Each structure stands twice: as structure tokens, then as C-alpha cells.
Chains A and B, each alone.
Chain A
């Protein structure tokens, strides 16, 4: 009984923090984009624009829910849910920190640790495609359909690279459990260089993972499914109000999840100076490392133009995939050598 209560409390805390953070992630994105483009960004609602997410939320809730005439009204309503739920389910296995003792009870700083944690995440990322594809289908609009089709093709193509780029980490850490993978990265080489996978021997794996992750989350420069110059808004063209908000939140939830995963797999998760003695400091390290990725995401959006569709496919299949295979062979060889 105590276990269930503890898990419930942790789930409530994680979801509260994550959802609040997602709302502010949208604000920070607009702020940073503003600064890069020599603007102020949103600064009217509240001090420094800090109440903007709240205003956006109210607006999304009270706007009219416009529905297109479609032969699949149920699918049309279910699609945003199918997109949001897998995105939020990822946080169940992400290790935010190690464990600490509170009132004589050991409390872990993650909701659960499964021995197939990484595969669970890949399964969820595979399910995320359905929301987008079905939204494109059920909207009964040519822009949505094309956006949905593109998204399916793109996500299947880049999922291969995403999965293969992580195989190296699995070989090095010897576990599919995310907590074990983080533990494997504690300590330093020669007392200076942290034993993070990104330094040795997964720098290539890290690069491939990061590029494929951007493509999986449909972000610039891989935001083909919602290319506004050709597809209006892609799969969510026909969506408005709360349903649109779900797609919007799902996109940010995926970005945050992928950033947290990159931190966990390649940047040592909660590891850092002093984190072994003070577990809560580890959470701070984890958040800081994840924030770096989030900034890079926004930075890329402000900097890079969009790929052309055939370039996207050629890059994925003829450049990234062979490199990912090479990385698997290299990692296996390294594991054999020592």
C-alpha cells in the first residue's frame, strides 16, 4: 500500500513539474527566438511576459472548436490524444536523479526503473506516429493527408538511425535499464574527464542520436510534416482550440523527453561533482544538461532553413543509416578489445 502511495505522489509531482515546464518551454522558445531576431519576444502579459503561458492556455480552452466535415469524426477527436499520451508516458522511466533517504525510507528520484526501459521508450516513440498519421487521415483535407504521409515516412526512416545510434551505448553500459546506464557513466578517466558516453566511445553515436531525434520530433530543419510554405500547417491544419493545444503540448513533451534521454544516455544523467553525496544536486545537474539541449533545439530553429523532402530521405538513408551501422560495428569491436 505504501508503495502505491509513494508511486502516486511521485507521478503527481513529475507530471505537475513537467507540464508546468512545458508551458514555460513555449515561452522561452518565443523569448529566445525574439532575442536572436533582435526583438523583445512576448512581454505584455505579466512581468517579463511570465504569465503568457497562462494566457495561452485560457485562450486554447475558450476558443471555438472548429470541426471539418469528415467521415471519421471519432478518429478526428482521438488522434490528438494518441499523440499526447505516448509523449507523456515517456517520463515514467526517465531517471531525474539517484535515490535519497527521507524519514528512514529510501526514495528513488524516478517513477520506475524497468529492465527494458530503453525499448519501452522506443515503443512509445513508435506509437507517437499514429496520432499524426491518423490526424492527417481523419481531417479529410489534402494538406493534412500529405503532412500525415510525410510524417509517417520521415519517422519510420529516422527511427532506424535513432535505434541503431543507441546500440553502442547499450554495448558499453551493458544494460537496457536507464538507471543502470546512468550508473555506468559515473567516475572519471584519469581524474579529469567524466566517464560520459559522449566522450568515449560514443561521440558518433551521440551526433547520430541528436540528428535523428530532431527528425523524430518534427523540428526545424526536419519539420517537413508541417512545412507552412507548402502544406499550410500539415497534419494539424484542421485542428483548433483544445485539440490543437494537445498537438502543441505533445510536440514540446517530445522535445523535452528526447533532451532528457540524450542527457541520460550520453551526458551522464545526474552525474556531476558532489552528486554522489547530495542526490538533489544530481537533479540540478540533470536539469542543467537537459536545458542545454533545449536551447540548442531553439537555436537550430532560429538558424537553419528547412530540408527539401528528397534531401531529407537521401540524408536519412544514405548518410545517417550507414554511419549508424558503422558505429555499431565500432562499438562491438571496442567491447571485444577491452
Chain B
């Protein structure tokens, strides 16, 4: 049962992920990304990481992708305009990045094979995540919030300059 569900979610995620860059229309790409997020949520639930699953839907699907949709609809982007953006040189840049990603994945898989997380632990529970976030990982957490604040202020500054 669990294995079948995993296969369904994983295959959906991969197929939809390929659709994100392959689709001509930006709106369809966003919808494909939405499907990827949905499949990932299913995988998180299978792993018992309910908090992560739900937070991912709240933030990515509920806020960020809606904003993407909003911008695409507001600017009324068409398929042809989006195609003009393609540059042949940038395409080759994908190769080193793909290689880098491959190395990262291999490293992480090795890491987990050496010391796997025992099943049935409560690492995905809200309480343990909150406790870790405010004790062990306090500094990165606070730094991230400052980073977001800077981005927010930057966005406001840019938007105001545009308006003048």
C-alpha cells in the first residue's frame, strides 16, 4: 500500500516537474508546478512529516504560486512573448548546474544510508520542529528572518522608485 502510494506520488512529481519547463504557456507551467507540490506533499505525509507537508501547501501553493498566477494574469503573458526570452548560451549553463545537483543528491543519499533516521520517530511533529528551530538552529533561523526583512524593504524601495 505504502509502496504503491509512493510510486504514484513520485511518478506524478517527476512527470509534472518535466512539464514545468517544457510547457509553452507560463500559466500551464505554474499549474504543473502546483501538481509537483501536491505530489511532494503526499510524499511528506507518507514520511510522517505532517508539519512540513501542510506548511509547504500553505506557503508555496497557497501564497507563492497564487502570486505567480496573479502576475501572469495581470501582465497577460502570451506563449510567444515567453519564447523570445530563450537564449542559446544560457541553455549550456544548465549542464554544470545539473552536474552540481547530481553531486549534491549523491552526497545526501550517502549521508542517509550511513546514518538513517529510525522510523516511527517524531521528527516531523510540530513541537519537535519548533523546539529545534528555537534552540539548535536559532542563529540560522534569525538570520533567515533578517534576510526576508531585507528583501521586503528592497521590494518596497524598488516599487516606490518605479512609481515616481
Q: Give chain A's interface residues, CB within 8 Å of chain B.
A: 114-116, 119-120, 122-123, 125-127, 129-130, 133-134, 136-137, 145, 148-149, 152-153, 155-156, 159, 176
Contacts and interface: CB of A to CB of B under 8 A. Distances in A.
Contacts of B57: 123, 126-127
A202 to B, nearest CB: 20
Contacts, number: 63
B55 A119 contact: yes
Given A120-B54, A148-B73, A149-B73, A115 B126 contact: yes
19 contacts: A115-B126, A119-B55, A123-B58, A126-B61, A126-B62, A126-B66, A130-B34, A130-B69, A133-B69, A133-B73, A134-B69, A137-B27, A149-B74, A152-B66, A152-B69, A152-B73, A156-B67, A156-B70, A176-B126
Interface in B43-74: 50-51, 54-55, 57-58, 61-63, 66-67, 69-70, 73-74
Given A126-B62, A137-B69, A148-B73, 20 more contacts: A115-B125, A115-B126, A116-B51, A122-B58, A123-B54, A123-B58, A123-B62, A126-B58, A127-B62, A130-B34, A133-B66, A134-B69, A136-B73, A137-B73, A152-B70, A153-B70, A155-B66, A156-B66, A159-B62, A176-B126
A116 B54 contact: yes
Interface of B: 27, 34, 50-51, 54-55, 57-58, 61-63, 66-67, 69-70, 73-74, 125-126
A75 to B, nearest CB: 8
Nearest to B72: A137
A116 B50 contact: yes
User: Which of B55, B57, B62 has the most A CB atoms < 10 Å from its CB?
Assistant: B62
B71 to A, nearest CB: 10
Most chain A CB atoms below 10 A, which of B51, B55, B69, B125: B69
A231 to B, nearest CB: 15
B66 to A, nearest CB: 5
B51 A119 contact: yes
The 3 closest A-B pairs by CB, nearest first: A126-B62, A123-B57, A119-B54
B42 to A, nearest CB: 13
Given A123-B54, A129-B66, A156-B66, A116 B126 contact: yes
